Amino acid sequence: MGAMKFPRISTLVLTAAAALHWSRGFAAAQGYTVLHYLATDASEGMQPQTELVELGGNFYGICWAGGQYSNGTAFKITPGGTFTKIHDFDFTVDGSTPLALVDGGDGNLYGLLEGYASDPGNPLTFQPGVFFKMTTAGTVTVLHLFAHDGSEGGLGPAFLMLGSDGNFYGTSWTDGANGYGTVYRLSNGGGYAKLHDFGPFGDAGGSSPNSLIEVSPGVLFGTTLGGGANNYGTVFQLAESGSSFSVVHSFATSEGGLPGGGYTAPPLVLATDGRVYGTTAEGGAYDQGSVWGISTAGDFSVLHQFHTTAEGFLSYAGIFEASDGTLYGATSGGTGDGLLYQVTLSGSETPFHAFDPSGADGAAPYSGPIQGSDGKLYGATYGGNSGVGVIYQHTLPPSVQSLNPTSGPSTGSTAMAIMGTSFASGATVTVGSVGATGVGFVSATQLQATTPALSPGTLNDVTVTNPDTVIGTLQGGFLADFLDVAQTDLFHAYVEKVFRHGITAGCGGGNYCRNNPVTRAQMAVFLLKGKHGSTFIPPNCTGIFPDVPCTPGFGFPDWIEELANEGITGGCGGGNYCPTNPVTRQQMAVFLLKTEHGSGYVPPACTGIFGDVPCPSQFADWIERLYAEAVTGGCQVSPPLYCPASSVLRGQMAAFLTKTFNLP
């Protein structure tokens, strides 16, 4: 593992269909603004290391040093950059070296300090940690002093979070029963309960905890800097009652070392996909750290390995999930003097701001940004005047997340609402490659526009370009309707779904051929794509049906043979498949149910639902089961009829496939 780099032993508290695209290189620093340079004389504080906290529309933060007593400060800053120092910490009054600050959910802020001594000259008065409450005006109340003997933990880099039960949960990096840290619970009145003591480095249960997250009421996940099977740290699970503890994952050298960010305490994030994500500061395939994810069941994966200067390295900061569905974080190394970056849940990493090598706009961030209620990113870092510190704001590129409606006539003139984030007044909209008209700014999360004329039967990207030329795109967002499937068509919604899922592209010329019968050859493709997905490619054919030549130019022989190999059909009799024959509604019942449930599926016995389907008969059980699964209601409601010998039309097929495979 590479050498650990840190400023001091302290530290941090720390559907989507939208595809985000950046139109310029990150070095251009578009969207980045320094809100405030901390005073050169450090009177306002120096070297902020924790994430900001938004409360009441303003942002609050702490500096671990500087201020009137050189013991650290707390400050408030507005989104417009108005800065106010609200408290100077005093070692002999309320403590020194603030390490953590969180929203208490009651209009107050709560945090941790590294130590306190009523008489600095008398070691017996030293407490290795302070839990405090602070009003938004800066009035501090000490709620709990950690035990002098260190039995409750020594804060080291400390982490604090608010649980769903209204209590606070925190970590200490050192001390405790074994000298290697604790996890504890604190009430907003100062009540303390130790939940777990950690063992020394090399201990299987982990050592030196530095972050926590609540994955469900009563259950915490956390990380340790060391210990575990490989002594590269662990992910652990702990009951909020302290009644149970287990190691969920031990980090390997290839996965990254120092989980949670080395000698800091950044946050983990429980993302919208149900997985917990975090960072490692070092280690990994390139010894430059990683972004990782883990399910609550313990399924671990490395999301991204940092490996170039342009990507950044030494991610001491944690990550968070923004409203655009992607993760954001910071590295203290890389191009310039550290980077801000985003990484998608699929692992694609994009740096979007490189701090100036001079440190003029900030430097070596040891905490990541947060997203304000206005959609912008806010953070604090080193650098600026004499390296004292910087508070910054970054406007995200627009993110197009949804449309209403999602389709319309290819002739254009459809009024469309565009929902997303970070839209700016004066933004333009294109659908496909054609400019929309009537673009109106409703809010930072909504635009309105009118669609242009488009090629029928096509999916078109919807792109928003803000006045600063940064863009956001919803790929394939808008369907220009097929010429023969109008918005009012009974099957329109089903046709749109099978088209969006890549099951069919229509029949050509901008048409879907809604009333054409589905052939048995076409049905092989529809069923297998519905079952396996649009990217499925069947094995090469070998020639098992005499009437399905395995030769180039013959329609769908690979698909037909795979349908047979999966046991969904045995052909039409006499060893043949009858590829050009229309599929009947009674045959469709068997095809769909075997594809859905497997080749060995046997439906329940029929009871006699449809007047034109005798019970018992060859297809009656299958037809009635398809009805029971609400895939079809038949061809007539009263009296109930099924029309078993009728051909399945392509419009009907879209409905059958959507319902059978639950296409969203």
Structure tokens at 491: 């099957």
Which domain does 441 fall in, by range? 399-480
Question: Which of 189-198, 341-350, 593-602 shows the lowest per-residue confidence on average (mean pLDDT)?
Answer: 341-350
Please state, in angstroms and rounded to a whole number, the distance separating the CA atoms of residues 56 and 63.
21
Please state, in angstroms and rounded to a whole number, the distance separating the CA atoms of residues 2 and 257.
9
Amino acid at 601: Y
152 found inside a domain: no
541 found inside a domain: yes
Spatial neighbors of 512 by CB under 8 A, at least 6 apart, are 457, 482, 484, 485, 495, 499, 504, 506, 650, 651
As for how many domains the chain has, the answer is: 3
325 found inside a domain: no
Are 444 and 542 in a shared domain? no
Are 551 and 502 in a shared domain? yes
What's the whole-number mean pLDDT along residues 526-555?
Answer: 94
254 has pLDDT over 50? yes
Give the residue among 517, 523, 662, 647 at the shortest CA–CA distance from 596.
662
Over residues 273-286, the pLDDT tens digits come to: 999 999 988 777 77
- Other Cβ atoms closer than 10 A to 446: 15
Are 434 and 509 in a shared domain? no
What pLDDT does 30 receive? 64
Q: Burial level of 427, CB count in 10 A (0-12/13-18/19+)? A: buried
Please state, in angstroms and rounded to a whole number, the distance separating the CA atoms of residues 616 and 608.
8
Whether the Cβ atoms of residue 108 and residue 56 lie closer than 8 Å to each other: no
**Please, which pLDDT band fits residue 260 given cuts at 50, 70 and 90?**
low
Are 467 and 522 in a shared domain? no
Are 517 and 649 in a shared domain? yes
What pLDDT does 329 receive? 92
Structure tokens at 368: 């990541």
E strands, 187-310, in order: 192-197, 207-216, 219-226, 234-239, 245-250, 257-259, 269-270, 276-282, 290-294, 300-305
Average pLDDT over the chain, rounded to an integer? 90
Are 515 and 620 in a shared domain? yes
What separation in angstroms does the CA of 198 have from each of 187, 238, 608?
22, 12, 67
What pLDDT does 463 receive? 96
Residue that is last in its domain, among 106, 129, 145: 145
Are 640 and 533 in a shared domain? yes
Please state, in angstroms and rounded to a whole number, the distance separating the CA atoms of residues 183 and 171.
5
Residue that is last in its domain, among 106, 128, 145: 145
Q: Burial level of 175, CB count in 10 A (0-12/13-18/19+)? A: buried
Are 420 and 552 in a shared domain? no
What's the whole-number mean pLDDT along residues 308-326?
Answer: 83
146 has pLDDT over 90? yes
Please state, in angstroms and rounded to a whole number, the distance separating the CA atoms of residues 653 and 367.
54
381 has pLDDT over 90? yes
For residue 97, the number of C-alpha atoms closer than 13 Å in the C-beta half-sphere is: 16
Over residues 17-65, the pLDDT tens digits come to: 333 333 323 333 468 999 999 999 999 999 998 999 999 999 999 999 9
281 found inside a domain: no
Are 618 and 529 in a shared domain? yes
Please state, in angstroms and rounded to a whole number, the distance separating the CA atoms of residues 181 and 209.
6
Whether the Cβ atoms of residue 422 and residue 392 lie closer than 8 Å to each other: no
380 found inside a domain: no
Residue that is last in its domain, among 480, 501, 530: 480
Residues 321-354 as b or e (16 or more Cβ within 10 Å = b): bbbbbbbbbbbbbbbbbbbbbbbbbeeebebbbb
99 found inside a domain: yes
pTM summary value: 0.71
Are 537 and 599 in a shared domain? yes
11 has pLDDT over 70? no
Whether the Cβ atoms of residue 553 and residue 613 lie closer than 8 Å to each other: no
256 found inside a domain: no
107 found inside a domain: yes
What pLDDT does 563 receive? 97
What pLDDT does 237 receive? 98
Whether the Cβ atoms of residue 353 and residue 345 lie closer than 8 Å to each other: no
123 secondary structure, DSSP code: G
What pLDDT does 258 receive? 56
Are 81 and 140 in a shared domain? yes
Q: Which residue has the tokens 């609200």?
A: 86
Q: Tell which wins on pLDDT, 97 or 333.
A: 97
Are 439 and 565 in a shared domain? no
Whether the Cβ atoms of residue 283 and residue 290 lie closer than 8 Å to each other: yes
Please state, in angstroms and rounded to a whole number, the distance separating the CA atoms of residues 270 and 289.
20
CATH number at residue 441: 2.60.40.10
437 secondary structure, DSSP code: E
